[in-house]
Amino acid sequence: MNQEVIIVRGNHTLEGDVQISGAKNSALKLMAASILGQGETVLHNVPLISDIEIMAEVLERLGATVKREEHTLRIDTANVNSCETPYELVSKMRASISVLGPLIGRFGEARVAMPGGCQIGARKIDMHLVGLEALGVHFDVDHGVLEATTPQGMKGAHVYLEFPSVGATENMLMAAVTAEGHTAIENAACEPEIEDLANMLNAMGAKVSGAGTSLIEIEGVPLSSLHPCEHTTVGDRIEAGTFLVGGALTGGPLTVRGIDPAFLRMAIMKLRAMGCEVQTGKDWITVSREAPLCSVDIQTLPHPGFPTDLQAQFMLLAALADDVSVITENVFENRFMFAAELMRMGADVTLDDHHAIVRGVDHLQGAPVSSTDLRAGAALVLAGIVADGETSVHHLEHIDRGYEDYAGKLASLGADIRRVAAPSPR
């Protein structure tokens, strides 16, 4: 498909209501968990984004069938007859590694290509492996492919994660559901997507408790007692946070619907600290701002700390605030590439190891910019909406991985935005 760019004209406001899609970082794992159901699992509120397409391809390569009906997926894994996920798919999306746990949980073995790193960091999986080894999984690496076997079967264990890794927690969870006996995962990741996965596993017949806290306990059940289920994905807190930043930038009022405000407590606290008015209801959040943006310090941390996936969006807010903000990225080792693009639009950011010192400026200037990762790309489009003049955002493939109809949703809120074929290089 032709490369496309987003052209956005500045000095527009974003106001009104926007429906938030299902969470990318939950739906991908729910799809992987369907392997354990050995029949047709129905998933609702699945976002229409390219990462979902790749995970569907991974499942089809394993022998599953995936039917798409708008935001519903019907995934039949009865005939999954392979436990092999090749490099060509894992290299397209590193989250494919999420099939490792359920393949081991179902077949006691798996062959999954090792994922590489990406722009934001090395993205190691050592904690996935240590945790699974504690359950009795044995790993060999054969030319870049992880070979997992369970020579003596899997037995529950008490595992302590040295870092609350989201992916490691999920892979261990999906394997431990059929490990014999009791498993405890201490220092588990507490993200809402983990709780969503555990709720679906329990609906399939698993016995998981404590998900959403740092101590998750699993009573193993026989594979035969797991069955397919119907499940609705939780709303995407990062998409919601991204739009809330858009409302905070331009003054709003902007309402995101289809999201539990409890998922965004820290981000809401920071929006209020920056001078925004935030109201919340059962499944909606409204942001507005009349006062000037106030500077704020931010430390990204595992949930319930400030989400690293909103770091770029809040750096944009800080770039237009009244003083100096210090943003510290504690989760990934290289997640400040956005700053370089923002500086091309006139922001004043000094990087010092994992700190970004952001001195507020009065305005930004539109410019041609490039997405470096999914969240930076989304933030660059927001920057174009408040900058003077026109901004063209390139490498939209990053944005399309995780935002359903991003330009269309922003246009419905008042942005002057369009996607056009990129001019061919002269």
**Contact residues: ligand EPZ, CB under 6 A:** 25, 28, 95, 121-128, 163, 165-168, 189, 308-309, 331-332, 374-375, 402
Nearest CB to ligand EPZ, comparing residues 321 and 399: 399
* Distance of closest approach, residue 168 Cβ to ligand EPZ, in angstroms: 5
* Distance of closest approach, residue 214 Cβ to ligand EPZ, in angstroms: 13
| CA gyration radius, the chain | 22
Nearest CB to ligand EPZ, comparing residues 207 and 354: 354
* Distance of closest approach, residue 37 Cβ to ligand EPZ, in angstroms: 20
Nearest CB to ligand EPZ, comparing residues 7 and 378: 378
Closest CA to 218 of 185, 259, 253: 185
Dist CA 26 CA 279 (whole Å): 25
Cis status of the peptide bond prior to 304, with omega within 30 of 0: yes
Report how many helices (DSSP H) and strands (DSSP E) the chain contains, helices first: 14, 24
Q: By the 8 A CB rule, do 157 and 182 touch?
A: no
Dist CA 87 CA 149 (whole Å): 19
Which helix (H) or strand (E) segment holds residue 175: the answer is helix 166-176
* Distance of closest approach, residue 330 Cβ to ligand EPZ, in angstroms: 9
| DSSP designation for 121 | B
Closest CA to 377 of 204, 119, 56: 119
Which of 118, 229, 276, 294 is the catalytic position? Answer: 118
Query: Which three-class secondary structure state does DSSP give residue 365?
Result: strand
Nearest CB to ligand EPZ, comparing residues 245 and 367: 245
Nearest CB to ligand EPZ, comparing residues 262 and 291: 262
Taking the CA of residue 106 as centre, how many other CA atoms within 13 Å lie in the half-sphere pointing to its CB?
A: 23
Dist CA 203 CA 329 (whole Å): 36
Nearest CB to ligand EPZ, comparing residues 132 and 296: 132
**Full DSSP string of 66-80:** EEEETTEEEEE-TT-
Taking the CA of residue 341 as centre, how many other CA atoms within 13 Å lie in the half-sphere pointing to its CB?
A: 30
* Distance of closest approach, residue 211 Cβ to ligand EPZ, in angstroms: 15
Concerning whether 118 is annotated as a catalytic residue, the answer is yes
* Distance of closest approach, residue 393 Cβ to ligand EPZ, in angstroms: 17
- Please list the active-site residues: 118
